[in-house]
Structures are given as structure tokens and as C-alpha cells.
Amino acid sequence: MKILLTYSSKTGNTKAVAEAILKTLPQGTDFFAVSEVKDLNNYDAVIVGFWIDKGLPNEEALNFMETIKNKKTGYFFTLGAYPDSPHAEDCHKSAKELLTKNGNEVLAGFGCQGKIDPALTEMFKSLPKDHPHYMNEERRKRHEEAAKHPDKKDFENAKKAFEKKSQDFQAFLNSSQDKLNKEQMAKLKKIEDVYVKAIKKVAADGKYDYIFEAEALKVGGEDITARVLKEMEALK
């Protein structure tokens, strides 16, 4: 039973936040880029990080999130806007909706500013004044502030956001492992019961006084393995 921490990062912002969050998670948590994740079947909990593109997780992360189903989840993101802005709140809402629609439970979420791709900043600077994305004074200040992030405070806030829920992830894993252990023991007990009944039936039919496991008998004896297996099949 394992946790996966994964991320999609273009400029390194989201990966840096992921590395901070990793420090709060249980030992043994798997840590990969989204592009390196091949199979989610081995994970009970998945935490995914992404950067915001037009109010949604970037395409790579969004497609990955669509594949997460019926798991405990968490998310984190970086964006150019201020983390307490209405736009950021909408991004939290979109992330939660993406995850919960596939039967997942969201245990934690976090968002912070991140450096905007310099190429995008230069594009905004080239736009005419009547363009909705023209680099006005407010946008210029926001880009300058975003360039300072994620910073040490962002990393600490990210860790705090997941530290609060890390125990929930661990408790879930422990509970799942206990359940799995009990199920495995029940299956083994059922197999053992059938095995004993089959041996007793073969012993009675063959009028054997003693039956030994093959490793316990060095010389002689009759191999009744095939007969025992046949009886086990009949008893299923």
C-alpha cells in the first residue's frame, strides 16, 4: 500500500514545491514526474502537482488527473496570479472537481505563485494597449512578484498544508494494510482447511498410517501429491 507524489513542471516551480511536500510524507512514498508514471494500480493515495494554464491544470497534468479513480488524493499548483485572488480560488475549485468526479477523496490542496515563463511575459509586453492582456502597471507588478516565487515561505506553507493531512494518508495506509492482511489470512486459512481435508480423504482411501511432506522423507514412500491436488479441486 503506497503513496505516489507526482508533478508536471515546465519551469521548475512545481517540482520545487513537490520536493518540499515530499519531506512531510511517509517514508517509502514514490516520487516521479507525471511523464514517468506508468501504472496507478499499486497506489492507494495519489498527490499531483501542476501549473495553471487558463484556469486549469496544464494539459499533461489534466490528462493524468482524469485517470485517477477511487483513491485518496491531494493536489498542489503554481500560478502567476496571487494565491489569495479569486482566480486562485477558481483554480482550487477546478482541481477538486476534476478529482472528485472520478470517485476520489481530496484530503489536501495547496497553491502558490510561481515564476511566469519569461517568453510569456515578453509576449504580454508586445501587446497593444487595447488588448485585454496588455502589460499594464498592475500586470507588470504581478509578474515581478511572481518572479520571486516559489520562495522559502511558499515551501513552508506547502509543507504545512500536507503535514496536517500526512497523518490521514498514513492512517489510511495502515488501515488498508490491516484489511489486506486479514483478507490474505482468511484466504490462506481457507486453502489450509481444504488441504487438510484432501489429505485426510487420500489417507483414508489409501489406508495410510502416516503422510509426510516430501522434504521430510529421505528414502522410499509413495508420492500422493497429484491425488491430494485432485481432492482439493473436488472440495472447492
In angstroms, the CA 107 to CA 113 distance is 21
Q: Copy the grid coordinates of residue 60.
A: 499533461
pLDDT by residue (tens digit) across 35-79? Answer: 999 999 999 899 999 999 999 999 999 999 999 999 999 999 999
- 69 within 8 A of 102, measured Cβ to Cβ: yes
pLDDT tens per residue across span 113-130: 998 877 877 887 888 888
Spell out the domains of the chain, with CATH numbers in brackets.
2-178 (3.40.50.360), 187-235 (no CATH)
Q: Give me the mean pLDDT over the 188-205 stretch.
A: 81
How many helices (H) and strands (E) are present in the chain, helices listed first?
7, 6
83-89, long-range: CB < 8 A, 24+ apart: 83/111, 83/112, 83/113, 87/55
pLDDT of res. 66: 97
The residue count of the chain comes to: 236
Q: Dihedral (C-alpha) 129, 147, 96, 58: value to the nearest 10 degrees?
A: 70
Q: Which burial class, exposed, middle or buried, applies to 78 when counting CB atoms under 10 A from its CB (0-12, 13-18, 19+)? A: buried
Provide the pLDDT for residue 50.
98
Q: 113: which residues sit within 8 A by CB, 6+ positions away?
A: 78, 79, 80, 81, 82, 83, 145, 146, 148, 149, 150, 154
What are the residues facing 108 on neighbouring strands? 74
